[in-house]
Chains A and B, each alone.
Chain A
Amino acid sequence: MATATAPKFADVKVGDALKPLVLPPISRHQLALYCGGSGDHNPIHVDLDFAKKFGFKDVFAHGMLSMAFLGRLVTSWVSQKQVRGLGTRFTSITWVGDVITVSGKVTGKREKDGETLVDLEIRCTNQSGQDTLQGTATVALN
Chain B
Amino acid sequence: MELDKKLIGHEFTPFTATVEAGKIKLFCKAIGEEDPIYSDEAAAKAAGYRGITAPLTFLRALQADDPNKGGLLRLLNVDIGLILHGEQHFEYFAPVVVGDVVTCQEKVVDIYDKKGGALWFVVQEMEMKDQTGKLLAKGRGVTVVRNPDAAKK
| Contacts known (A38-B60, A75-B56); A68 close to B85, Cβ less than 8 A | no
Q: How far is the CB of B127 from chain A (nearest CB, A)?
A: 15
Contacts of A39 in B (CB 8 A): 23, 61, 63-65, 69
| Contacts known (A37-B23, A38-B64, A81-B95); A88 close to B30, Cβ less than 8 A | no
B6 within 8 A of A: no
Of the listed stretches B8-16, B31-39, B101-109, B110-118, name the one at the interface; the rest are far from the partner chain. Answer: B31-39
| Contacts known (A37-B27, A68-B33, A71-B57); A89 close to B47, Cβ less than 8 A | no
B49-84 vs A: 1/0 string, CB under 8 Å? 100010111001101110001000000000111111
For chain A, what secondary structure do more than half of its interface residues adopt (helix, strand, loop), or is it mixed? helix
Contacts of A68 in B (CB 8 A): 27, 30-31, 33, 55-57
Q: How far is the CB of B91 from chain A (nearest CB, A)?
A: 5
When the two chains form their complex, are residues B89 and A53 in contact, meaning their CB atoms are under 8 A apart? no
Interface of chain B residues 117 through 149 with chain A (CB within 8 A): 140
B14-30 vs A: 1/0 string, CB under 8 Å? 00000000010011111
From the candidates A37, A74, A80, name the one contacting B37 in the complex (CB within 8 A).
A80
For the complex, what is the distance from the CA of A70 to the CA of B48, rounded to whole Å? 22
Interface Cβ pair total, 8 Å cutoff: 120
A40 within 8 A of B: yes
User: Can you give 17 contacting A-B residue pairs, CB < 8 Å?
Assistant: A1-B34, A37-B26, A37-B27, A37-B61, A38-B64, A39-B61, A63-B88, A67-B60, A68-B27, A68-B31, A69-B32, A71-B55, A80-B55, A84-B91, A88-B88, A89-B87, A90-B87
| 10 further A-B pairs in the complex, CB-CB below 8 A; given A1-B35, A39-B23, A86-B89 | A23-B32, A38-B27, A39-B65, A64-B57, A64-B60, A68-B56, A80-B95, A85-B91, A85-B92, A90-B87
Binding site for B on A (CB under 8 A): 1, 23-24, 30, 33-34, 36-44, 50, 53-55, 62-65, 67-72, 74-75, 79-81, 83-90
Query: What are the 4 closest A-B residue pairs judged by CB atoms, nearest first?
Result: A39-B64, A87-B89, A54-B81, A63-B85
